[in-house]
Amino acid sequence: MRLPIAAGLATAAVSLTLYPLFEGGAWFWASMGAIVVTAAIGMGASRLAAPPWAAPPAMVLALGVYLTAAFTGSKAWIGFIPTKDSVALLGELLGGGFDDIQRFAPPVPANTGITLLTAGGVGLMAILVDLFTVRLRRAALAGLPLLALFTVPAAVLTDPISWPAFVIGAFGYIGLLVADGRERLGKWGRAVFVRRARTVTADAAPDTGRLALSGRRIGVTAIGLAVLVPALLPNLAPAPLFSFGVGNGLGPGGGNIGIPDAIAELGGELRQEANDTVLTYTSSDDLPRYLRIYSLDVFDGTKWTVNPLRGRPEDRVSEGPLPPAPGLDPTMPVKRAETHIAISDDIRTLRFLPLPYPATQVAADGDWRADRNSLMVFSTDDEAAGLDYRVVTGEPEPTPQQLDLAAPDSSGRRYLDLPPGLDPRVAGLAQRVTEGAETHYQQAVKLQEWFTKSGAFTYSLKASGSGGDALSQFILTDRSGYCEQFASAMAVMARMLGIPAKVSIGFTGGTKIGDVWTVRTHDAHAWPELYFAGVGWLRFEPTPGGGAGQGTAQVPQYTLPVTPTASPSPGASPGASAGADDATGDAAPAPRNPREIDRDLGGVPIVADPGMPLLVKIAIGVAAALLILLIPAAVRLSSRYRRRRILDKVAFAVPDPDVPDPRVGDSDADLIASGEASARKRRRAVTADAPVRVAPAVEAAWAELCDLLIDFGRARRPGESPRALGRRVTETLRPDPGTTASITAITSAEERRRYARTVHGPAPVAVDLKRVRQALAAAASRKRRLGAALAPLSTLLRLRALGEKALDGFDRLENIRLVAGRSRGGAGDMADDTAGNRAVTVRDVQENGSSQERSLTGSRS
């Protein structure tokens, strides 16, 4: 009866882990409703003893009714009976939900469609769990649907699932298993198998609590290990399943880093009185470069924002080159440069790196990750303040011809979205301004020219606002503003013309002071980037530069109107200066290897730690595993060596007898018979005054012999005395007389050590053990020999014994608890006992008194 409830609880617990996927809690309550409905049907089916096959269809029906009532109640008959309309609406909502899920990155808004989808999915999982647990009685298998549920957030989210959520989910599953075990055992009158029960108490009531206690304990231990071990193991750190630090998803936003209101800050920075140094940099070609921090690609009519970023662990900049720049054709010649950037210590919280675009490699300390779409590099853990890092860029140097040829492709479509309600005059103006341009590129150039020259725009920091009206106002009437307005206006107009565009925020190239380029607060800047297939994103500069504009803003070379005589101001065009590079690049547009380090950089190639290659990692892992596997062999070798040393020490410490060994005991008769003279000579007669000294040697020899036998699969049996052991070994091995004598020497010495008054007679020597080992190895198969050398069973057994001891410790702990619990509930149990039950109890006590290890069964009849 409890089982359906436990199944529902388990599903509910695991579905909690879905929380980072959604905004708001609507999905949760809807899902809980679905679980409650299915669990109720499950309980009903169990109570009515319905056939197992009947329950799942009934649950599916009930789930359908529930979803109808909850989501399409208005169209349903008396609120919950599905009708044609309601089913149609449900389908529509589902379709919408699917679309939304495709569209949104998590956390997705909890709209009706998505909530419906979630509730339905969780409900289906609940049915599956119930099917496995209650109907098929395979509770362990119910872990599969639960795992599937758990996998959803784990697979979709880049950020780890927070460990408390995992723990709750795991407890749900354990609860399910415990409930199942309880139910299973409850059907028996009493079946208690207590591992080595030494102190089974007289109370033999059919009590599954004890087992459940063990089960829970094992479960808790397992969960604890599952959470702690990955956290403790450094190797697992790159992709932790559960996070502890920043961005563990406990806060809103589901672990995604938010971008500060970049635009608002930008204006603030530009208006600041103080013009502090933000960063300094040097570059291999000593040219200024715009340093981009944010790339805003969503325009909502009032402001530019960014899609949620994805910083996957594999896109960590320390893992190797950055993802390829979007849209950049690998065959396009690029100009490589290395920039060394040092960020000021005083800068406030900055979790994004200012980088020239497009960066191919970044060497920075800390956990910096690149977003694949925008190549923004950010961190959830580290801050940029004081950071010193190096960047390699590969800037495309397209010719106007190439740009003219750039056909629009599908990947840029996302960057054409414009909200409805924009002033249509702006679009008209855009068309007008670019009249005569035949290609997107020419349109873009005309647009930029209009902003900077023909449009009569003035630069003013006084302009305010960035709303939808403010934008059209700026374009149509005011024509006065600063970089933000210019950038935003050009990007919007480019989108209107069908050119994918976005707004980037960062810094201009700054001013050269001494040997370094210095970027200050007033160099904060915004600019549009336009997309051309094959070239990728190109920076445009609509903001006026120079004294009347933003001082350090520069118009890129490729955006200037094509005039063969045009001579750009020196240093102002990054593309033109690197002549040699240009020439080779144009002459031979050979496919370039994105991983290639540019040899022209002059300096030391950047050492962005590429991380270890996968193969090396695997090799190291395998080697480590092998080393761990070889630990028993090493332990075995060391114990063998230690024993041999003991033997040698004793052999030389005991004085050499003048007379031959005294023949004591019948075992020595065998020795004579064997005619084994040399070993006997080495064997020292041990006299009555030396038992203490010789005992360790005997003990060591015996221990080694036992271990050898275990290793070679002829382990000593519990009821076997040393003598019997020696007899068995010699009978089965049939070794040469020398080895027989050696075996006898060891066993009879051990026999005397154990049972005689004094250790008396010859002591074994190292040669004896060597002979025995050789004889055993000769008789063993190759596999066995290898096993004895690499994975000696004797050591493994010893390790297992250690483990058993640990378990014994747990048992003792458990007994303490049980005794305490028992004394409380004892009276009630006794009252329930029937006479027959008590008789069983008495019998059990007798049996327990006489045996240590037994499975006790009795019936309650």
Partner 1 sequence: MAATPDVTDAETRLETLVDTADRIRNAIESVIEGKSDVIRLTVTVLLAEGHLLIEDVPGVGKTMLAKALARSIDCPVRRVQFTPDLLPSDITGVSAYNQQTGEFEFKPGPVFANIVVGDEINRASPKTQSALLECMEERQVTVDGETYRLESPFMVIATQNPIEMEGTYALPEAQRDRFTAKIAMGYPEPAAELEMLDVHGASQPLDKLDPVATTAEVRALIEAIRAVYVSQPVKKYAIDVVAATRQSPDLLLGASPRATLHLVRSARAHAALSGRDYVIPDDLQDLAVPVLAHRLLPSMEAQGQHRRPEQVIDELIRRVPVPDIK
C-alpha 730 chain-centroid distance: 56
> For residue 126, what are its two tokens?
């609940």
Nearer to partner 1, 718 or 828 (CB): 718
Residue 288 or 726 with smaller CB distance to partner 1: 726
- Token look-up 């629009």 returns 408
Provide, rounded to whole angstroms, the least separation between the CB of residue 198 and partner 1.
Answer: 14
628 vs 659, beta carbon nearer partner 1: 659
Rg of the chain on CA atoms, in Å: 40
Of 623 and 724, CB closest to partner 1: 724
Distances (CA, A) of 587 to 331, 584, 657: 13, 5, 97
Least CB distance from residue 610 to partner 1, whole Å? Answer: 59
Of 400 and 665, which has the nearer Cβ to partner 1? 665
- β-sheet with 536-539: strand ranges across: 291-296, 501-507, 524-532, 536-539
| Least Cβ distance, residue 663 to partner 1 (angstroms) | 10
Neighbour tally for 540: CB within 10 Å: 26
CB of 721 to partner 1, least distance (A): 4
What residue ranges in 442-560 does DSSP mark as E strands?
A: 458-459, 480-481, 501-507, 511-513, 516-520, 524-532, 536-539
Separation of alpha carbons 299 and 492, rounded Å = 8
Give the nearest distance from C-beta 846 to partner 1 in angstroms. Answer: 10
Closest CB 687 distance from partner 1, rounded Å: 5
Q: 84 by DSSP, 3-state: which?
A: helix
Residue 454 main-chain phi, psi, to 5 deg: -75, -20
Closer CB to partner 1, 448 or 740, in the complex: 740
The CA distance from 842 to 846, in Å, is 7
- Identify the bridge partners of residue 619 per DSSP, sorted by sequence position: none
Q: Which is nearer to partner 1, 244 or 755 (CB)?
A: 755
Q: For residues 156 and 706, which CB has a smaller minimum distance to partner 1 in the complex?
A: 706
Strands (E), 388-446: 388-396
703 CB contacts (<8 Å, ≥6 apart)? 643
CA distances from 79 to 24, 35, 88, 651, 717 (A): 26, 20, 15, 97, 76
Residues that bind partner 1 (CB under 8 A): 657-659, 662, 664-666, 685, 687-689, 717-724, 751-757, 760, 850-851
Taking alpha carbons only, the member of 758, 771, 828, 814 closest to residue 216 is 814
528 versus 726: smaller Cβ distance to partner 1: 726
State which residue, 699 or 833, has the beta carbon closest to partner 1. 699
DSSP 458: E
Cβ-proximal residues to 49 (8 Å cutoff; 6+ apart), any chain? none
Instruction: Please answer whether residues 403 and 375 qualify as being in contact, where contact means their C-beta atoms are separated by less than 8 angstroms.
Output: no
DSSP state of 57: H
Cβ 753 to partner 1 shortest distance, Å: 7
Taking the complex as a whole, how short is the minimal distance between the CB of residue 762 and partner 1, in angstroms?
A: 13
Using the minimum distance from each CB to partner 1, give the nearer residue, 89 or 698: 698
Which residues face 538 on adjacent strands?
530
Closer residue to partner 1 in complex, CB, 115/848: 848
CA distance 354 to 338: 14
Question: Which helix (DSSP H) or strand (DSSP E) does residue 129 occupy?
Answer: helix 112-130
User: Which residue number, 689 or 832, has a Cβ lying nearer to partner 1?
Assistant: 689
Nearest-approach distance from CB 655 to partner 1, in angstroms: 9
> Minimum distance from CB of 767 to partner 1 (Å)?
24
| Minimum distance of partner 1 from residue 186's CB (angstroms) | 28
Q: What is the nearest approach in angstroms of partner 1 to the Cβ of residue 718? A: 4
Helices (H) and strands (E) in the chain, counts: 26, 24
Q: Report yes or no: 389 and 341 within 8 Å, Cβ to Cβ.
A: yes
Cβ closest to partner 1, residue 223 vs residue 686: 686
Smallest distance from the beta carbon of 749 to partner 1, in angstroms? Answer: 13
Contact 480, 457 (CB under 8 A): yes
Tokens representing 24 are: 């708001």
Cα–Cα dist 11/142, whole Å:
10
Greatest extent of the chain over all pairs of C-alpha atoms, in Å:
125
> Using CA atoms, how far apart are residues 96 and 19, in angstroms rounded to an integer?
20
Residue 615: how many CB atoms within 10 A of its CB? Answer: 8
Q: Which is nearer to partner 1, 306 or 840 (CB)?
A: 840
Q: Is the dihedral of CA 493, 496, 499, 503 positive or negative?
A: positive
Closest to 159 in 3D by CA, of 69, 286, 256, 76: 256
Closer to partner 1 by CB, 666 or 832: give it: 666
8 A C-beta contact, residue 197 and residue 212: no
Q: How far is the CB of 788 from partner 1 (least distance, A)?
A: 24
Instruction: Say if CB 826 and CB 162 are below 8 A apart.
Output: no
The nearer residue to partner 1, 46 or 747, going by C-beta atoms, is: 747
Distance CA 737, CA 730 (A): 10
Q: Residue 189 contacts by C-beta under 8 Å, 6 or more apart in sequence?
A: 206, 858, 859, 860, 861
CB of 836 to partner 1, least distance (A): 22
The answer to whether 517 touches 282, Cβ cutoff 8 Å, is yes
Work out how close the CB of 640 gets to partner 1 at its nearest, in angstroms, rounded to a whole number: 20
Give the shortest CB-660-to-partner 1 separation in angstroms.
10
Residue 855 C-beta: closest distance to partner 1, Å: 12
Question: Rounded to the nearest 5 degrees, what angle is found at the Cα of 145, between the Cα atoms of 140 and 148?
Answer: 125
**Quick one: 78 or 659, whose CB is closer to partner 1?**
659
Output the CA angle 704-707-713, nearest 5 degrees: 140
